[in-house]
């Protein structure tokens, strides 16, 4: 009898604890919804709502855990379908978290959500760690190479997808500029030392992209101060990039697209831009990188992307649709349906098979193998491609 009484008491205590936690989760969900609504209300009349969200979400989530800040972001995205590209916000949230204890920057990067905000979170953690730390000589920067060579590789609390690793090495390109006081030549050399792996993997292209992007697209006042006098401007870009070779030259030129503004947002303008360095490495990198960029510049609007890709030369149409569809999935897993819609549009101009196959190949890189997100992606594809997708996993 006594044993029965103890069992009843034990069950009651456990039930009470579970009830308390469920209530806490419910209150938390309600408070997140209310907070997201405050943000939506604050930005409803803003000239460009995404920029307003980039400012309001950090202000409204001061003191929040990193994961909770992103939960609020997800609610805002659910209510406003124009806020998928929150890369700048990802920078800000992880930088804020890293600032609490810069020595934990690797752990902050490991907490960053997959398939959200175009992986801006990882970038922020890296840059915050070294934002104010420049070294007096190249030798001091090179001393960090052993540590930087390992930071993007799988470890005990981080098992990255291929995309997360590539994003990480891209962030190392930005970081190389910080630790070398924006000495682009030394930064490129550091990329070569940290991004080529013993097993043959080579992440130098994305690392170079990050280094040159730092020159052309500084985000913060500190970033602008770092590269002051380094930007060659539109008229000087060609001569500047001639100083480099191969992949470094390809990154130098393609990352300089902001200097050309609206010119590169038309098929004719982009074709002219990417033909300036006609070598295979430079030209191919220009097109693949720019199709990614333009997809985001068009705010993932298929009504702009489809005519743009249709206007490209026949030999580039398939790549245009493929890269645009992949960029949607890379930016946010919630855009899978839209990415498939682009491949459906590609079918109408005879490049649908290339688009679907490329998207499936990309998915093995973007999703973690065997993950629920990967399986959902495969199930979202037309029947013909579902089995192809699952066999690739």
Give which of 92, 85, 82 is closest to 40, Cα–Cα.
82
pLDDT single digits (tens) 144-195? 999 999 999 998 888 888 998 999 999 999 999 989 999 999 999 999 999 9
CA atoms of 138 and 58, how far apart (whole Å):
35
Give the pLDDT of residue 233. 96
Any domain includes 136: no
Any domain includes 392: yes
> Do the beta carbons of residue 122 and residue 167 sit within 8 Å?
yes
- Enumerate the H helices of 101-203 as residue ranges: 105-111, 120-130, 138-142, 145-151, 162-179, 184-195
SS3 202: strand
The last residue of one of the domains, among 119, 143, 176, is: 119
The predicted model gives 11-25 an average pLDDT of 40
Any domain includes 31: no
Any domain includes 380: yes
pLDDT single digits (tens) 189-219? 999 999 999 999 999 999 999 999 999 998 7
The predicted model gives 311-330 an average pLDDT of 96
SS3 166: helix
Any domain includes 58: yes
Backbone angles phi, psi at 231, to 5 degrees: -75, 120
| Token reading at 121 | 């979170």
Backbone angles phi, psi at 196, to 5 degrees: -100, 120
Q: How buried is 192 (Cβ within 10 angstroms: 0-12 exposed, 13-18 middle, 19+ buried)?
A: middle
> Do the beta carbons of residue 330 and residue 163 sit within 8 Å?
yes
Domain containing residue 113: 50-75+85-119
pLDDT single digits (tens) 273-309? 999 998 889 999 999 999 999 999 999 999 999 999 9
Any domain includes 110: yes
Residues 6+ apart with CB under 8 A from 282: 246, 249, 250, 253
Any domain includes 130: no
Number of domains in the chain: 2
């Amino acid at each position: 009898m006594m044993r029965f009484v103890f069992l009843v008491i034990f069950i009651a205590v456990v039930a009470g604890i579970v009830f308390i936690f469920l209530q806490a989760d419910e209150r938390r969900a309600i408070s997140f919804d209310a907070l997201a609504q405050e943000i939506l209300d604050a930005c409803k009349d803003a000239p460009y709502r995404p920029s307003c969200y980039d400012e309001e979400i950090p202000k409204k989530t001061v003191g929040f855990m990193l994961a909770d800040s992103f939960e609020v972001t997800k609610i805002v995205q659910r209510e406003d379908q124009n806020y998928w590209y929150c890369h700048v916000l990802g920078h800000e949230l992880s930088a804020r978290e890293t600032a609490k204890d810069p020595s934990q920057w690797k752990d902050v990067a490991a907490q960053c959500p997959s398939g959200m905000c175009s992986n801006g979170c990882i970038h922020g953690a890296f840059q915050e760690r070294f934002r104010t730390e420049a070294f007096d000589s190249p030798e001091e920067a090179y001393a960090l190479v052993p540590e930087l060579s390992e930071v993007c590789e799988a470890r005990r609390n981080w098992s990255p997808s291929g995309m997360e690793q590539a994003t990480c090495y891209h962030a190392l390109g930005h970081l190389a500029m910080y630790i070398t006081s924006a000495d682009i030549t030394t930064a490129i050399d550091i990329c070569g030392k940290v991004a080529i792996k013993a097993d043959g993997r080579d992440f130098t292209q994305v690392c170079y992209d990050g280094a040159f992007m730092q020159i052309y697209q500084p985000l913060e006042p500190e970033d602008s101060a770092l590269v002051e006098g380094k930007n060659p401007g539109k008229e000087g870009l060609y001569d500047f990039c001639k100083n480099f070779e191969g992949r470094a030259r390809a990154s130098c030129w393609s990352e300089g697209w902001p200097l050309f503004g609206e010119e590169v947002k038309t098929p004719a303008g982009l074709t002219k831009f990417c033909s300036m360095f006609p070598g295979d490495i430079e030209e191919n990198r220009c097109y693949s990188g720019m199709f990614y960029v333009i997809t985001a510049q068009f705010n993932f609007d298929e009504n702009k992307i489809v005519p743009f890709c249709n206007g490209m030369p026949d030999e580039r149409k398939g790549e245009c649709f493929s890269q645009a569809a992949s960029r949607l999935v890379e930016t946010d897993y919630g855009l899978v349906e839209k990415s498939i819609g682009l491949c459906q549009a590609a079918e109408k101009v005879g490049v649908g098979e290339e688009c679907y196959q490329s998207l499936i190949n990309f998915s093995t890189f973007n999703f973690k193998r065997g993950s629920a997100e990967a399986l959902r992606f495969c199930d979202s594809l037309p029947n013909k491609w579902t089995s192809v997708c699952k066999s690739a996993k």
